[in-house]
Amino acid sequence: MTEAEQVPSIRRILVALDASPHSMAALEAAAELAAGLQAELLGVFVEDVNLLRLAGLPFAREVHAFSAIPRALDSQEIERELRAQAERARRALARAAEREQVRWTFRVVRGPVLEELLAASAQADLISLGKQGWSANMRRTMGSTAWEILSQATCHALLIQRRARPDAPIVAVYDGAPGARRALNTAALLARHRWRKLTVIVLADNVEEARRLQSDVARQLKGDELQVRYRLLVGADISWLIHAVRSEGGGLLVLSSASPFFQEEARRRLLNALERVLLVR
């Protein structure tokens, strides 16, 4: 195994918590991973500085999301709300960590959300994110914050919309590139820890190459007691891939950030379409 293929050990898992449903799913997934990898959970709650600023504006009116009733914002009120939210996030983290029996820390930081999360991610090996924040009911696509973190963070990133079914396999995409090997190894690592099935989607330009890559993978995974299934895709585009992953029962997709399918427009479609993605750097 060359240096490039080595799986960097995952010791610290950062969870961005904002108490939204997606972030709860991200927390659950992170806790599960942490238990499997014997890693530590770092919970972080960012008090959005923008909100605090808003309260200082004289005309700011908050429209309540459920009753549509506008009311004046005041900074004390906002502080209280944020504290309540942070407390909820902390409790959820404590519960999840206790259930999975992993070590955990929790902290609250104040500042711009994106910067704070990026700063925090620098000290972690993996960041687990809800696919959308609180504005979920306003948009169908991925949240802007999550998007930016995926683009800018240097650690692995786990993007979760909903928890996977317990029997769903882990899906790795393999095209022979070094990044893809790392992704494959990470996927195998996770599968080993959670006794899951592993599906390897082999991407190639022609059938011969696909067969070669498959035996390549088989060699790599030899000795692992995993249930491995192969799907060979020849000359596939992004919609084929999405279809293939979905038909695997909605398991976690493990993909290298260097993969051609993780560039530009393909990336957007991929992330919008799938509910669970682990991006391996």
Partner 1 sequence: MANIRELKAEEVYRRCDPAQFPFQTTEELDELQGIIGQPRAVAAIRFGIGIDSEGYNIFALGASGTGKHSIMRQFLEDRAAREPTPPDWCYVNNFAQPHRPRALRLPPGMGVQLRRDMERLVEEVRTVLSAAFESDDYRTRRQVIEEEFKERQEKAFESLRQRARERGLALIRTPVGLVFAPLRDGEVMQPDEFQKLPEEERKRIEQDVEVLQKELQDVVQQIPRWEREMREKIRELDHEVANFAVGHLIEEVREKYKQLPDVIAYLNDVQQDILEHVRDFLAPAEQPTSPSPAESTPRSPAGSPSLRRYQVNVLVDHSKSNGAPVIYEDNPTYQNLIGRVEHIAQMGALVTDFNLIKPGALHRANGGYLILDARKVLMQPYAWEGLKRVLRSHQIRIESLGEMLSLVSTVSLEPEPIPIDVKVALIGDRLLYYLLSELDPDFGELFKVAADFNEIIDRNADNEMLYAQLIGTLARKDGLRPFDRTAVARVIEYSSRLAEDAEKLSTRMQSICDLLHEANYWAGENGHEAVTAADVQQAIDAQVYRVDRVRERIQEEILRGTILIDTDGERIGQINGLSVIQLGNFSFGRPSRITARVRMGKGEVINIEREVELSGPIHSKGVLIMASFLGSRYVADRPLSLSASLVFEQSYSGVEGDSASSAELYALISAIAQVPIKQSLAVTGSVNQHGQIQAIGGVNEKIEGFFDACKARGLTGEQGVLIPTSNVKHLMLRSDVVEAIAAGQFHIYPVDTVDQGIEILTGIPAGKRDETGQYPEGTVNYLVEKRLAELAERRKEESESAREEEE
Question: Rule CB under 8 A: which residues touch partner 1?
Answer: 50-51, 53-54, 56-65, 68-70, 73, 78, 81-82, 84-85, 112, 133-135, 137-140, 247
Q: How far is the CB of 227 from partner 1 (least distance, A)?
A: 21
Task: Quote the CA–CA distance of 206 and 209 in Å, as a whole number.
Answer: 6
Pick 38 or 247: Cβ nearer partner 1: 247
Pick 84 or 119: Cβ nearer partner 1: 84
Pick 62 or 100: Cβ nearer partner 1: 62
Pick 133 or 251: Cβ nearer partner 1: 133
CB 236 within 8 A of CB 260: no
**Residue 111, SS3 per DSSP:** strand
CA distances, 48 to each of 45, 109, 133 (Å): 9, 9, 12
Q: How far is the CB of 62 from partner 1 (least distance, A)?
A: 4
Task: Quote the CA–CA distance of 252 and 170 in Å, as a whole number.
Answer: 5
Q: How far is the CB of 129 from partner 1 (least distance, A)?
A: 16
Task: Quote the CA–CA distance of 234 and 203 in Å, as a whole number.
Answer: 6
Tokens coding 263: 């560039």
Q: How far is the CB of 12 from partner 1 (least distance, A)?
A: 28
Task: Quote the CA–CA distance of 100 and 219 in Å, as a whole number.
Answer: 33
CA distances, 54 to each of 95, 117, 134, 234 (Å): 33, 21, 17, 53
Pick 2 or 137: Cβ nearer partner 1: 137
Q: How far is the CB of 44 from partner 1 (least distance, A)?
A: 17
Pick 51 or 108: Cβ nearer partner 1: 51
Q: Which residues contact 227 (CB under 8 A, 6 or more apart)?
A: 169, 197, 198
Q: How far is the CB of 243 from partner 1 (least distance, A)?
A: 10
